[in-house]
Structure formats: C-alpha cells, structure tokens
Amino acid sequence: MSLDPVRPSGVSCIRLLCWLDDKNLPCVPPISIIVYENYPPANPACIISSNDYGGTSFLMCVKDVFESRMMLMPVRFTVSHILDSWEMSVRQAVALLLDNKDSIANN
C-alpha cells in the first residue's frame, strides 16, 4: 500500500494505492481507496478501474464479485473491510475459474 500522488482537488482526503501481495494468488491490478478527512464516521470509497479489470474474463469476474461484495457492506465499514473483500473476491474468482475448467474437462 502506498499513498497515491493523485489527489482529488477540493477534497480533504488521502488516496491509497493498494496491491495484493499473496504468493498463492494470481497478480491483479491495484485498487485505489479514498479515505476522507472525517474517517471513520465517513466510509472510505474504493475505485476499481474498468480499464485495469476489463482485460480478461478472470479480471472481469474479480471486479463483478468485488462490486457485489461492496453492495453487501454494512452501513459503516473500514479500509480493512474493503481490503478483505477485495482479497476474497480474487479468491472467489480463482475458485470459479477452477470450477469452470473442471466442468469443461468433465464434459
């Protein structure tokens, strides 16, 4: 995780650029998390780029699963919630990909 040098103008916040560093998972593009000045009462926001996550069916699956998980977040959530959801989205996309390969091989 690092501070993103791009800062939205007129907004008091920090932008974090987050990478998933797990040797057991495939490489995926980073996500950006915006943490507002009044965090934690104000939920952080997450940006997952369609350009970065639109290149393959696997990355599109990660994005879709992640967006679904974000819709299920509690009313108040944290940066850790976002990061956990992102990691679990990648794991779920891997599992779905493996299930699809197994069903194709068995047909």
Residue pair 94/25 in contact by the 8 Å Cβ criterion: yes
Listed as own residue / partner, the contacts of 31-39 with beta carbons closer than 8 Å and 24 or more positions apart are 31/82, 31/86, 32/4, 33/79, 33/82, 33/83, 34/8, 35/79, 36/11, 36/12, 37/12, 37/13
- pLDDT value of residue 63: 96
* Res 89: pLDDT: 97
Report CA Rg, the chain: 15
- pLDDT of the residue at 83: 97
| φ/ψ (deg, to 5) at 62 | -55, -45
Full pLDDT tens readout for the chain, 107 residues: 777 666 656 668 888 999 999 999 999 999 999 999 999 999 999 999 889 999 899 999 999 999 999 999 999 999 999 999 999 999 999 998 887 765 555 54
* Residue 63 · residue 46 · CB < 8 Å: no
Q: How many residues does the chain have?
A: 107
